[in-house]
Amino acid sequence: MVGIAPSSPSAPLLDGIVVVDLTQYLAGPTCTRMLMELGADVIKVEAAPYGDPARSFSPRVNRRSGFFIQQNRGKRSICLDLSSVEGKEIIAELAMKADVLVENFSPGVMDRKGLGYEVLAAGNPRLVMASLSGFGQEGPLASKPAFDFIAQAYSGLMHMTGETDGPPLVVGSGIADVNVGVHAFGAIGHALFRRERTGVGAHVDVAMVDALVHMHETAIYAPSLDPTFRPVRQGRFYQPAQPAGVYKGPEGWIVIFCTQGQVDALWRAMEQPELGTDPRFATNSGRLAHREDLATLIERWMEQFERDDEVIKLLELHRVPCSRVKDPAELGDDDHLRQRDAIRTVSDPLVGSLVTPGFPIHFGAGAPPARGASGDVLAPNLGQHNREVVSGMLGWNADRIDELERRGVLVAKDR
């Protein structure tokens, strides 16, 4: 199956690509979910007896986790005792048939299992293997345990989050996990592109900390140029420019962000053009020095409206960059996100309907839409595809599979 060309120009971008997914929780499944949505055949290998721990995450309906559904729809599940000889043999044989293998074990675990890149690539030189971890496969901290919060802290991202005079705060989503998954998704695509030119695969090493460090736009380079510059927590206002921040609206919170060329548009929307010549606000340095005064003026102006949407409508009329701060629970009804498939409603035979994020990339004319919007893309039961994969792909006979099931090497459950 390695390197099968797409069946037609209208086929999904990764049609014919086989992915062995040895990941769990969020980071790895984010990557392999996106590969599935581009048409790859993703075989999710889960550890017996319970599978991906995300299967138990709340909220659940009929013992089925919405988190697991969101991250694993469209994948095929096999459940193995990964410590058994046969379990390792099945993974090795799958790697022989695969184009891509993604894993997020702690660094060194795959090598200790005899399934490291050098071993697998010896049998399949075209294999692209992606290893996702907290601190990377190499370096002084490669063995350091890490979760999303740890990466946020070490990368400095947490230092930049919170009130200026308050403690550092955690970003309110799995930003490190998702970020490393998307970085790996992009890296795998480029490794496959190189493979088509050279015939040789690659080992891709992607770390959560590296991905978050890459997100800093000012805080790293600025101190190296100006020793007096100290990155500080932003609070509700942007450190380098004003007006830019979060302002109290009539009902909730509204973000405004103006560059120098857009400030006059804000004054016009407020019907206070004199602010453009006020010494406090005529320059960005002046606005930074008097940002609390400026925030008070903006919020007093907003108080004259009854609804946030009225403020937004007027700001948009004057082309002032702005947005209401939305509750994620509102996003399921957002027309813009719905039309772009950034939000979708999916079905599950045990849960029913649920709202999930969609696919975040659009390829436009010449490429088919991503998979996942249709109701026939379902999350697998645990070990649902054991026989289909082990027999159909690897050719193991029924008697041998029966024996593995009796010994608990292969496990299947209805959740």
Q: E-assigned strands of 76-189?
A: 76-80, 100-103, 128-133
Give 322-342 pLDDT, tens digit per residue.
999 999 999 999 999 999 999
* pLDDT greater than 70 at residue 2: no
Average pLDDT for the chain: 93
pLDDT at residue 1, rounded to an integer: 47
CA–CA separation, 103 vs 44, rounded Å?
A: 10
Helix (H) / strand (E) element for 402: namely helix 398-406
To 5 degrees, how large is the angle CA 79–CA 382–CA 111? Answer: 30
Q: Which of 177, 205, 210, 348 is catalytic?
A: 177
Q: Which two tokens stand for residue 128?
A: 């692209």
Residue 152 and residue 170 in contact, taking contact as beta carbons nearer than 8 Å:
yes
DSSP strand pairing (343-348 vs 352-357)? antiparallel
Q: Any catalytic annotation for residue 177?
A: yes
Q: E-assigned strands of 187-273?
A: 202-207, 244-248, 253-257
Phi first, then psi, for residue 169 (nearest 5°) are: -120, 155
Which residues, in sequence order, are bridge partners of residue 352? 348
Q: What percent of the chain shows pLDDT beyond 90?
A: 86
The 8-class DSSP code of residue 56 comes to: G
- Average pLDDT, integer, range 20-45: 96
- Average pLDDT, integer, range 34-41: 95
pLDDT at residue 3, rounded to an integer: 47
Give 171-225 pLDDT, tens digit per residue.
989 999 999 999 999 999 999 999 999 999 999 999 999 999 999 988 999 899 9
Q: Which residues contact 285 (CB under 8 A, 6 or more apart)?
A: none
CA–CA separation, 227 vs 333, rounded Å?
A: 47
User: In terms of DSSP H, where are the helices of 17-137?
Assistant: 27-37, 66-72, 85-97, 109-112, 117-123
Residue 20 and residue 30 in contact, taking contact as beta carbons nearer than 8 Å:
no
For 159, 241, 245, the CA distances from 167, given in Å and listed in that order, are 8, 23, 19
Q: Which two tokens stand for residue 71?
A: 């991250």
Residue 144 and residue 208 in contact, taking contact as beta carbons nearer than 8 Å:
no
Which residues, in sequence order, are bridge partners of residue 256? 245, 322
Task: Look at 402 and 368; give whichever has higher pLDDT.
Answer: 402
The DSSP-derived string for 142-194 is TTS---HHHHHHHTTTGGGSS-TTS-----SS-HHHHHHHHHHHHHHHHHHHH
pTM, entire model? 0.91
3-state SS class at 83: coil
